[in-house]
A and B are shown apart, each in its own frame.
Chain A
Amino acid sequence: MDRIADVWGPRTPHGRETDWPVRVDQQLADGIGESDVDRWVQSACVLCSNGCGCDIAVKDGRMVGVRGRAADIVNHGRLGPKGLFGSWQAHRTDRLTKPLIRRHGVLVETDWDTAMNEVVHRSQELLAESGPSSHGFYTSGQLFLEEYYTLGVIGKTGIGTPHMDGNTRLCTATAAAALKESFGSDGQPACHADIDLCDALFLFGHNMAATQTVMWARVLDRLAGPERPRVVVVDPRRTPVAESADVHLAPLPGTNQALLNGLLRAVIEHGWIDHDYIARHTLGFEELKSTVEPYTPEHVAEICRISPVDLLHAAEIFGTSRRVLSTVLQGFYQSHQATAASCQVNNLHLIRGMIGKPGGGVLQMNGQPTAQNTRETGADGDLPGFRNWDNEEHVRELARLWNVDPLTIPHWAPPTHAMQIWRYAEQGSIRFLWISATNPAVSLPELARIRDILRKEDLFVVVQDGFPTETTELADVVLPAALWGEKQGTFTNLSRVVHLSEQAVEPPGEARSDLDIFLDYASRMGFRDRDGDPLIKWKDAEGAFDAWRECSRGRPCDYTELTYEKLRGGSGIAWGPERLYADGHFPTAADYCEDYGHDLLTGATVTPTEYKAQRPDGRAFLKAAEYLPPHEQANAEYPFLCTTGRSVYHFHTRTKTGRSPELRRAAPEPWVEMSPEDAAELGFSDGDVVLVESERGSVEVPVRIGRCRGGVVFLPFHYGYWDVEPDGHQRAANELTRTEWDPVSKQPLYKISAVRIRRT
């Protein structure tokens, strides 16, 4: 079977409430048979947030293939194209094997001592000169839990800087924000098995068929079986997901909040709500009701340019299905009023009393495989263990745990989000920026600006990665890192399932695990606790995991039940119960919650006093917001709205998937997708090369006539410059995108750039 052509694999249909059948997918290198494999090493795939359990095939000290784990609750043996072809193939190709250091403007090979001494020297110099806030750390959604936690301790108290974030800001910040606003803390309420149990599935801005292919295979198996769930999709493109929908709503980009207010209004008006649940378990119903009141189907239809009949049909499916599962992703998270609109999905579930029920719940999705751990451990700026930066007692708890002065832990203001970190670097107040396992020179908005910042003379840039990238090119020091399969550690997927990923092979050349690099930095810097002992007391992954377990004790993400031993064999294991909040009790008590919340329109923080006055005490918040028109609008000069997204064959900026021959062939080049009507009007045929321009930059790509609604075009965001001759910067979608972010989650708005298109 050609799993490049058949992305989701053969169907194994099943009915509601029956087990999803096992189907083991496997891929071995050419010429290798099962009997040639020396050993299979347990892991899980790190090419999307699904986190499919797998085993890595090893022969003669090399990774030679991969196989899904039949017993794993996430994938029941399956793997998708990225897992099959992209996970293990790139490990010997084109890797960074030696540290690099910039000398007279050029990066040259050096040894670890020289590289690390340079990093430490610059770090200490700046600490002496202008203190901790000269330092920024920008990490990833692709490291392991142990690495994030170690980085978190280094940043939060070793250095003591508030400027830490991950590229998770670009992918799942809104998921975390919406969960905190509604339920008081991060933590995914629903689980994968809910797909097997639901009567209706709502996908809000989530092209699951491309983002999590194995999860979509699970849905397809329900759709092909008896008692098929009804499907409603909100997406401006006619994606494969939309094609299988009973109702497809294609709102104009930027209007999600109006659409959701319309759905809420219809559900409330028809009385499809659980009054008893609302009274006992929520706060704010009256305000929600009055806020959504003006959003009649006709009014919403006009704002979103959709049919009012479809809107009502969708509301009816939501309101009358016995068990509804909703998923939310980038179509909401990276768009206008991101947190507000995502909270409205939570609200739909809360007013129906449908959270934590088998088959009835919400999945605020993650994008990257280990994003959940960036959020849990505080490598993204939050405090570790979902602690609240505005709660003095939480800060003292951490200080006791680490045996440091609470004052060294930055908590005087909200942690600095990624976009602000880059702004401080641009302004010159951050002068030391350590980037790990991410490629901002392709993935951040408005790339011309990002390149300028990275090139600044007064900014010292450390980049730690497995491959040479567009970002390592601009670094002062490059540290070669080990990848998946070359190091040990755990990570947590979108449904809180924790997997242990064992080391299968040795890293190439002098590459080291990210954990070892962070530990080395900590020891060279001489970070100490109050008693003069080393601040970081662990030396390996398991030690870091055990330290993290202590840190998480008593918090919503309590890992104390989990150990490496328990994670070996069998399936990955979720922290917490299978579903959160089954009893309608939410982590909103003032002394326990992760956040006191925000005003959804402006992001103004709710003060502790205001929060306590509401006496949430375990009730969820129904946070309401009116729709505001987006700042970026199509106009006479730039008449199209451009959204960005993914190809099913690639991950992130293709550093790994672009080096797998099968995946590379499957999607070698970027393109711009537009509706047949728009293409006809502009006189474009399939394959015509065009220039897509925004106020900020342009790309030159072939036209693909396809799935967009009128007035909207689509660009894939994966493509940068590492594998093409550098002839200008006209390939990366983010040349066009705008530096603007959601007021609450601070997630950039990739989904809405005004552009014009002309033939080259």
Chain B
Amino acid sequence: MHLATYLGLLHTSLRTLAGAFREVAKGHGEEPDVRSTCEVLANRLDGQVEKLGPIVDRYGEHRESEPERLHAAEFEQTRGGAVGLLRDLQDLYALASFTDITWTVVGQAAQGLRDEELLNVVSSCEKDTARQLAWLKTRMKQSAPQALIAARG
């Protein structure tokens, strides 16, 4: 069963994403809303990882084939300035979209397996992932005009 592969993928990407939110919180401390919201979202991602625990215990996880590629998407370092912030949020958006679709795929498997426990985890985590994406989009829409038109330097 390849579900184990996907659970591994999910597990890694959730941790990567949590780490990336923390990086951005630290790197953009001068934007208090970015700092505090990224921290809140990172903490909630820890919660997702925790919820995945019992599922992984049941199905196992397979993490060998993917880490290379996931590592490539990993968040390296925050950038400076208004455009830098925009780009960092965009990277978070890409990472969050990745976990979003991974949850969807895992959810499909849960349907097939009629695994109610997993289905519950998926639906609560998908809501939270939607929240991440919605916030990132809101914040980027807010910053974009100023960063792209009026910002200097």
Contact = CB atoms under 8 A, between A and B. Distances in A.
A174 B36 CA distance: 18
A492 B142 CA distance: 31
Interface in A469-525: none
B70 interface: no
A419 B36 CA distance: 15
A131 B33 contact: no
Nearest to B133: A604
B106 to A, nearest CB: 23
Interface string A400-430: 0000000000001110100110011001111
A602 B131 contact: yes
Contact of B144 (A413, A604, A605): A413
A413 B142 contact: yes
B131 A599 contact: yes
Contacts of B141: 412-414
A739 B135 CA distance: 20
Interface in B21-40: 30-33, 36-37, 39-40
A695 interface: no
Contacts of A414: 138, 141-142
A245 B135 CA distance: 41
A419 B34 CA distance: 13
Interface string B31-59: 11100110111000000000000000000
Please indicate which of the listed interface residues B37, B40, B138, B150 has the most CB atoms of chain A within 10 Å of its own CB. B150
A440 interface: no
A430 B82 CA distance: 13
Contacts of B131: 599, 601-602, 604
A740 B145 contact: no
Contacts of A413: 141-142, 144-145
A134 B150 contact: yes
Interface in A61-80: none
Interface in A654-690: none
Nearest to B41: A602
A103 interface: no
B112 to A, nearest CB: 27
Given A412-B141, A601-B40, A131 B150 contact: yes
A133 B37 contact: no
Given A413-B142, A599-B134, A631-B39, A740 B150 contact: no
Nearest to A426: B30
A429 B152 CA distance: 6
B145 A133 contact: yes
> Which bucket holds chain A's interface residue count?
20 to 34
Nearest to A605: B138
A739 B138 contact: no
A293 B32 CA distance: 31
What is the size category of the interface that chain B forms with chain A?
20 to 34
B113 interface: no
A743 interface: yes
A51 to B, nearest CB: 33
Contacts of A10: none
Interface string B106-117: 000000000000
B137 A427 contact: no
Contacts of A420: 142
Contacts of B81: 427
A603 interface: yes
Nearest to B152: A428
A133 B33 contact: no
A635 interface: no
Contacts of A740: 32-33, 36
A631 B34 CA distance: 13
B107 to A, nearest CB: 20
Contacts of B37: 602-603, 743
Interface string A298-333: 000000000000000000000000000000000000
Contacts of B31: 423
Contacts of A741: 32-33
A563 interface: no
B72 interface: no
A32 interface: no
A378 interface: no
A430 B150 contact: yes
B32 A131 contact: no
B25 to A, nearest CB: 10
A99 B140 CA distance: 40
B1 interface: no
A603 B40 contact: no
A624 to B, nearest CB: 12
A737 to B, nearest CB: 12
A428 B153 contact: yes
A395 B131 CA distance: 27
B134 A429 contact: no
A606 B138 CA distance: 9
A600 to B, nearest CB: 10
Given A429-B82, A603-B138, A604-B138, A631 B149 contact: no
A110 interface: no
A130 B149 contact: yes
Contacts of B142: 413-414, 416, 420
A604 B135 contact: yes
B145 A603 contact: no
A676 B56 CA distance: 54
A427 B40 contact: no
A628 interface: yes
B63 to A, nearest CB: 30
A618 interface: no
A162 interface: yes
Contacts of B123: none
A412 B33 contact: no
Given A420-B142, A428-B153, A743-B33, 6 more contacts: A130-B150, A130-B152, A133-B145, A429-B82, A430-B150, A605-B134
What are the 4 tightest A-B residue pairs by CB atom distance, in nearest-first order? A604-B134, A604-B135, A429-B150, A602-B135
20 contacts: A130-B149, A131-B149, A133-B146, A133-B149, A133-B150, A412-B141, A413-B142, A413-B145, A424-B150, A427-B82, A428-B152, A429-B150, A429-B152, A602-B41, A603-B37, A604-B134, A604-B135, A605-B138, A631-B39, A741-B33
